[in-house]
Each structure stands twice: as C-alpha cells, then as structure tokens.
A and B are shown apart, each in its own frame.
Chain A
Amino acid sequence: MEKMVPTFEVTNLSKVYGKCEQTKVKALKELSFKIMPGEFTAIVGPSGSGKSTLLNIMSGLDYPSEGMVHLAGQDISHMSGNELSDYRRDHIGFVFQAYNLIPVLTVKENVEYILQLQAVNANQRKKRVAQILEEVGLAGFEKRFPMEISGGQKQRVAVARAIVSNPDIVLADEPTANLDSKTGVELVAMMSKLNETHGTTFIFSTHDPTIMERSKRLIVLKDGQIVKDQ
C-alpha cells in the first residue's frame, strides 16, 4: 500500500425517516461494520432495504439519526454544512445512478472540476485529467459534452471524476442501474482494475448478480440490517 488509507468505521448507525409515530420508517437499524483500506465492497439487498440511505450517510449527504460514522478518524456525523462539503471534496469520490455530470462542462472539464475545487494548479490538473481519462478509456473524448456520449461512457467519466482527486473512498449508488448488463459489467471491471492499480477503496450498491460476483466483499442488507457479510 503506497498510501496509508484509514478505515471507514460505522458504529451503531440508525436512520429513522419521518417524525410522527405512524409514518416513521426505520431505514437502518444499528448497523456496525468496518471498511478496510483497498477494499472493493458491494452492498446488496432488495429494494427498500436501506442501501441508498447507508451510502448517503457514509458520504455525508445525509445525517444519521443515531450512531457514528468515522472516516480518517474524523467523526462526520456532527459536521456542519461547509465542513461536510469540504469533507466530500477531499475524501470522497462519487458515482451516482444517472445524471452524474455537469451538462455544460465537457468530459475533460467535468473531471477537472473537482481538482479546481481543491485548488490544484493548472499544470497538475492537466496531467492528472489526461492520465485518468486514458485509464478509463476515454482519451479522445475530452472535448465532448455529456450530451454527446453514451450512458456507459458517462459513467466512466463519473468514475474518472470520482478517482482523479485520489479520494479515500469512492462511493457509488447503483452505478450500473441505467446500463445494459454488458456495459455494467465492463464498468465494474474497470472500477476493479482501478481499485487494484490505485489502491482506492470502492463501495457500491447493486441489484445485479453478475456484478456482485466481481466484488471482493459482499454486505447484504435486509430491512435495514446486515444479514450477511462475506
């Protein structure tokens, strides 16, 4: 391991949606688990089992009702809005199900955007963006706008953007849901390769059995609880 990647640690995490008794939904129930550096983990489970809720809280998009989430030793469950913004910027890479990209920016600019947020200098930005686009197989597409590329290519751009800033962890909520299964498998294969070459930790959720097979660790959720972890 070239880089000292700290553990992601989730302790007694609960999430309750809704305030009044009748409409309350317990989406997560006292989850605890650790993610070790360099892991390639899939979170699976039926619809409504709490996968998105868990990923949202781990990424600091949402607050837990109870419990703690630590990344790099920092407790993110009590951070303020701007702290969370900076936390996401510096530690987390994102891939969403769809509409991942900023439509008015080109492929290259989309990937570069996060480096600009981190105030990386122009030379370095150029180098890193070119290198990562090469790695995800999008060299030659730099000047295209998101409208002008396919769904699979868009997700590759999203992965490139997620990884270009060397985050501690890349979180992907159903990154393949909008792709056909062949393209989906290709995307996961590519993520897996990046996981090996860069040592970046990946956590993603999925419904797709062929994709589950490619993960090294599988956390199965059901009704907000972990029923299997292997």
Chain B
Amino acid sequence: MLLIKLGLRNILRNKRRTILAALAISLGLTSLILTDGIMIGMSQSLVRLVTSSFLGHAQINAKNYRDAFEVDKSINNLAATTASLNNEKTIQSFALRTQTLAMLSSASNVSNIVLFGIQKEKEMGISMIKQSLLQGSLENLSDQGVIIGDQLAQKMEIGLGEKLIVTVAQVGTGELSQEMFKVEGIFSFNAKEMDRGIAFISLSSSQRLLNINNRVHSIILKFKNILDSSNLKSPFWKKYSAGGNEALSWRQISPGIDSMIEMGKYSTAIIAAILFLIVVLGIMNTIFMSLHERTFEFGVMRAIGSRPGKIILLILTETSLLGIFSIVIGVIFSLFSGKLLSMYGLDYTGIELGGVTMQEPLYFVYETSQFIIYPICIYFFTLISGIYPSIHAAKITLVDAMKKSL
C-alpha cells in the first residue's frame, strides 16, 4: 500500500516526463498491434485473392499431375470422388476442369496458351472469372465460345464477337484437333501471366476437343471455412489422396504465397523485437534520469533504515505503474486506429506482390490475442527495463549519496 502510494506520487511528480515516457511506450504498443493486424489482414487478403480468383481453396488431381500437367493424367474414379465430395460437410462447392496446352490463331497472330474447360455455373461459386470479365458474360458462354484475357486479345488483335482457331493435341493419339471459337468474353485478373496466357471454353467442348469423354483434370474445391483448407493436418487430404489421386491445399499449390505469409510473420517478429528494444532503452534512460535526481532521496530512505530491496521494489512499482498507464493509453490508441484502419484500410490496390496483384486495400484485422499478448509483453519489457536501474539505485554508497547535499 505504502509502496503503491509512493510509486504513484513519484510518477506523477514529473508529469511531463511520465507522459512522454508513457506516450513512447503506448505508441510502441500501438505500432505492434497495428503491424500485427495489418499483417493478418494482408495474409487473409492474399489468401482470399489467390484462392478466390482462380486456384480455389484446394484441388484434387491425378497423382503427380501437377508436375507437368500431362493431359493423359486425368482424375481416377471421378464419379465416386464427386459423390463423396457431395457428402463432405466442410465443402461448400466444387467445380470440374480440364486443362491443356493449346495454340490460338487469329488472322494476325498466334499464341500458345493454357486452355481450361470449365463448368460455367459451378465456377461462379468458386472463382472470380465472372467478376473479372470486362466484356461478355460467363452465363452466356456457348459451346463454341471462348473467354480470353485482355492482354491476349490485344496481342491477337481480336475483340468480342470475333473468331479464332483453337488447336490442341488429342489425348492418346496425339493427333491435332482444331475448332473455330468465337470470343464471347474478355477478362482481366490484373495478373500478367493469366491475362496473357490462359483462356476458357466450356467443359464439354474441351472434352470433345481432347477426345477424353467425361474425364477431367482437376476438381476445384471451395471450403465453407477457409481455415479448413489451410489445415494440412486434417484427415481430408489423406482421404482424397487415394486411388491414384491427390488432394492439395492452396498452401501446397501456391507455396510462394504460403512463404510470403510466413515471411510476414517474420517481419512482424522483427518489428516487434525492434520496438521492444526501443521501449526498453527509452524507459531505462527515463528511469536513470529520474533516479539521478533522486539519489539523495534514496540515500535518506536507506539511511533511516529501508533495506536495498525496498528501493528496488519501489522503483519496480513505479515502472510497473508506468507500464500499466502506458498500456491503457496504448490499447485505447490501438482500438481507435485499428477501427479506422479496419474501416478504410491502406490502399495498396493495383500493386503486384509476388505475382498477384492486390485487389483490395489492406485492412486491419482485430484479434483478441493482439490486445492480450502484446500488452503483457510490453508490460514485462517495461518492468525488465526497470530492473537494472533499480539495482543500480539500491547499490548507492550511502556516504556518497549523502554528500550530494553539500
């Protein structure tokens, strides 16, 4: 009780210094929480971007299909697999696709691209093809229609309603098969490789072109909760990686994004370490400054019979109170600025990050843990910064301390 009274009065003694120190600590805390929230926001938005634009949360392919995308490696036991997927509680929807290398020729140019056969209704719930269309519509994609990227259209000097020839090698025989398609849609994913290098036709047309009957190359999955697709330990993956197939999460399909997110965590940790260091050094300096002025006072306390431990306790109580005070301010700051950032976000749209282009601003994502773990860390770091100065103050030689008065 006496300690708290003394501590409280001492930190209120030099109000300006206390407020400045508390501001420094609370700004440190705020930056930590905001960095963390923005990083989570960025990861989530990257994941959303990657998975929702085209890849899906997960895919099922024939085993080793993704090594070279060979057209003859189509999914095994398709009927049984889709029947089973229909009963999966975690799966919201899925779509079938074929995928093949193809050559597009227009009157003026030739392009080698990757041609996807898609189920137009099912794709709407899974990918952003529909949302990415600049012209045309996905619903009206006909049997002889093709959707291409805006950059490809530019290169081929072709527009909506014009025709081009699609050439593919048929599965099994390797014979070339050619058909005329009409451009029925032009999309832009804001990603060079996709906008220049892929095209979509209907699933049935592609199966006809490739001569593969009802076979497909990929099942694109959408989970009800994206976290289920990130959890590589879930039994789901094992269950569908059987009978010559393999089920892969977005984390395995797009390891680049996964490692970017991991890197994001690293940078949060580095920023945290730097901030903690600044907080510690800043507080130590403040405490030392105030202790220097109070040498005589500690001398008196020691002289009249306070043990050194009491002095240490007093200074730690003071830093403790300073820490609590700063945390309260910091949490209020963070709630307020986090609220603003989660409403308006940081506008990074259009900036390409590791091959994908940010489609939405970076939002701050609240997590309760941010407001528990970081304040506790800051509190302990504040306390730790008080230890060295307090031991220093407790160790003063009394005779020297008393001489300060002369």
Contact = CB atoms under 8 A, between A and B. Distances in A.
A105 B296 CA distance: 15
Interface stretch (A94-102, A128-136, A182-190, A191-199): A94-102
A81 B396 CA distance: 12
Contacts of B398: 56, 61-62
Interface in B8-58: 9-10, 13
A88 B310 CA distance: 15
Contact of B9 (A56, A96, A104): A104
Given A104-B9, A104-B13, A116-B2, A94 B399 contact: no
Contacts of A88: 303-305
Contacts of B10: 104
Interface string B310-330: 100000000000000000000
A85 B308 contact: yes
Interface in A64-96: 81-82, 85-86, 88-90, 92, 94, 96
Interface residues of A, number: 29
B332 interface: no
Given A99-B300, A103-B13, A62 B399 contact: yes
Nearest to A178: B405
A103 B303 contact: no
Nearest to B394: A81
A108 interface: no
Nearest to B403: A52
B176 to A, nearest CB: 93
Contacts of A118: 305
A102 B298 CA distance: 9
A74 B195 CA distance: 94
A141 interface: no
A117 B314 CA distance: 13
Given A99-B405, A104-B6, A104-B13, A85 B306 contact: yes
A87 B296 CA distance: 20
Nearest to B401: A61
A89 B304 contact: yes
Given A61-B398, A99-B405, A89 B296 contact: no
A102 B301 contact: yes
Given A98-B405, A104-B9, A85 B300 contact: no
A61 B298 CA distance: 13
Contacts of B6: 102, 104-105
B193 to A, nearest CB: 68
Interface in B256-308: 296-297, 300-308
Interface string A43-70: 0000000000000100101100000000
B297 A81 contact: no
Contacts of B402: 56, 61, 96
Nearest to A104: B9
Nearest to B404: A99
Contacts of B308: 81-82, 85
Given A102-B297, A103-B297, A86 B399 contact: no
Contacts of A105: 6, 9
A31 to B, nearest CB: 17
B297 A85 contact: no
A59 B303 contact: yes
Most buried by A among B303, B305, B306, B398: B305
Contact of A117 (B296, B300, B306): B306
A5 interface: no
Interface string A111-132: 0011011100000000000000
B68 interface: no
A156 interface: no
Interface string B179-209: 0000000000000000000000000000000
B13 A85 contact: no
B406 interface: yes
28 contacts: A61-B303, A62-B398, A62-B399, A81-B307, A82-B307, A82-B308, A85-B305, A85-B307, A86-B305, A86-B307, A89-B304, A94-B300, A94-B304, A96-B300, A97-B406, A99-B297, A99-B300, A102-B6, A102-B297, A102-B300, A103-B13, A104-B10, A105-B6, A113-B2, A114-B304, A117-B305, A117-B306, A118-B305
Interface of A: 56, 59, 61-62, 81-82, 85-86, 88-90, 92, 94, 96-105, 113-114, 116-118, 161
Given A96-B300, A117-B310, 12 more contacts: A61-B303, A61-B398, A62-B398, A85-B308, A86-B305, A86-B307, A88-B305, A89-B306, A92-B305, A94-B303, A102-B301, A161-B304
Closest 4 CB pairs of A and B: A89-B305, A104-B9, A61-B398, A85-B307
